[in-house]
Chains A and B, each alone.
Chain A
């Protein structure tokens, strides 16, 4: 019983860290520029597909993973410089609405293309062996996820606290006009952070694929999960999103084991609705 509980907790932690990464992808872009990026799940899936193709040539997961993330970053840069530039021309609520519709259109476009050209499902194998901890069997994929996600969180923490660009990003999140007065160019920061968010989502997708099959249809699901996590975390709070992801990951894993998977998904959406009703002013 205790061992089973520990297994669930570790699996939930691993799942939660993935959710945190995906949620960060939403939080960074929405907090920074008011665009709810519905293409995020596509970035995650594309990273997995590129990663699995590289694995066919170079059988080293770390190399392939970095390759997948780099490819997605490039992809995101193209999207940002082309279509999103038009969205950023609007301001306030107009930009938020246009952002939703345009990224929804783009996500349909890319999902459709994924369905046409890469209809298979993809699964990535980690070489980490399962270990036995006091009777609880901890799966290799969970260990791989927790270790890699921890490293990524460390990097993200370093970026936002100790680099010029990271601090500039936080400045723009807090006050776009103020940041201009400080000599920061918001549009440039927005571009860089959009690429960064896609890379984080790509990494999240690759970690997700260590434990579950990823198919083009996963893109929509991953986007919705990411949005819900980001909302529960407070939408423009980086720490809040990480915490929300981990807590929700553990809750839905435990709820899924106890009540079945559909109720655990319902829990996630219900939590987001509850948070929005309680604190609607956080998105404004």
Chain B
């Protein structure tokens, strides 16, 4: 039943995504285009968190820092070598992924609990923020530097699309790839092993699951994705600055996006990102009330709505399609 629904939902989502630039992007009002680009970027960030936290229960709180590692490596290396950042993009992502994998390796080796990993990665986030401001000679400190290198003028000319539309399509392609990887992971033996780790790590180890290798793998995949998207995130404002990658601007939002959309659901991150970025823009005119609103949202989400939008909708639909109590129980069992 879920597979048939997937066959319907997936094309619908992508048709909608592909239509977005044609319907809404207008060269005279770039802020609307930027808003959609932000939605897709935060959806990808949340999918990465879904892989590492949702699947293997490793809570990382240095997503902003990892995105910064990707963005700064890509941009600075391209400048230093005098080549296009398209070429250094993978280097930045690999660097971010290696760093993330290393942290996850130490965490798995030393048997960190969720809290310990959260605190360690949070401390790394602080260190990265400090270093980005402090190493002024290399990173140009808190004022940052302009960055526009990840554009495709040739494609723009060929298709007649604006730079924002091309950027959006590139990100949709990355989104599709990440979604593909996530779907494959969930349906392969990895998904099974992840579920085993999540439910009982010791039992998983006893049945022959290589917990350390899988946790490092999930950590690498997630931080690689975040590092890959980091430069695009920097490009949304045209300026790479440390404050763009802080705990409050990235990690808090990504957490809200994922939990609101639905932990371990495939389209939860996209739905969550759309809602959160909409609220974010709406509240942008009210100054610090935005922080207040997100604080309230985060608190209420975690206290009362940990299921998320997408899984809740799914079980609602399942309940209506199959009135028997059995299917409701099944649906809920699945979303857990």
Contacts and interface: CB of A to CB of B under 8 A. Distances in A.
Chain A complexes with chain B: yes
24 contacts: A83-B303, A93-B113, A96-B114, A97-B59, A101-B255, A105-B294, A105-B295, A105-B300, A105-B301, A107-B295, A109-B299, A111-B291, A111-B295, A112-B292, A116-B292, A227-B122, A260-B134, A266-B127, A269-B123, A269-B126, A270-B123, A277-B120, A281-B111, A284-B113
Contacts of B291: 108-109, 111-112, 115
Contacts of A276: 112, 116, 119-120, 123
Contacts of A101: 255, 298-299, 302
A273 B123 contact: yes
B334 to A, nearest CB: 21
Interface string A184-227: 00000000000000000000000000000000000010001001
A262 interface: yes
Interface in A51-107: 83, 86-87, 93, 96-98, 100-102, 104-107
A228 B119 CA distance: 9
Prevailing SS type, chain A contact patch: helix
B115 interface: yes
Nearest to A278: B110
A102 B131 CA distance: 29
Interface in B96-149: 106, 110-116, 118-120, 122-124, 126-127, 130-131, 133-134
A110 interface: yes
A151 interface: no
When A and B form their complex, which 10 residue pairs have the shortest distance between CB atoms, in order from nearest? A109-B295, A108-B295, A112-B291, A105-B298, A105-B299, A262-B134, A112-B292, A115-B288, A101-B302, A269-B123
A118 B59 CA distance: 33
B256 to A, nearest CB: 9
A83 B288 contact: no
A96 B119 CA distance: 12
A115 to B, nearest CB: 4
Nearest to A279: B110
Interface string B129-171: 0110110000000000000000000000000000000000000
Contacts of A83: 299, 303
A231 B119 contact: yes
A104 B115 CA distance: 14
A227 B61 CA distance: 14
A113 interface: yes
A86 B133 CA distance: 39
A112 B113 contact: no
A86 B301 CA distance: 13
Contacts of B110: 277, 280
A180 interface: no
A283 interface: yes
Contacts of A29: none
B31 interface: no
B37 to A, nearest CB: 25
A174 B329 CA distance: 40
Contacts of A262: 130-131, 133-134
Nearest to A269: B123
A93 B289 CA distance: 32
Nearest to A36: B115
B302 A270 contact: no
A32 B288 CA distance: 33
Nearest to A220: B248
A112 B298 CA distance: 13
A258 to B, nearest CB: 14
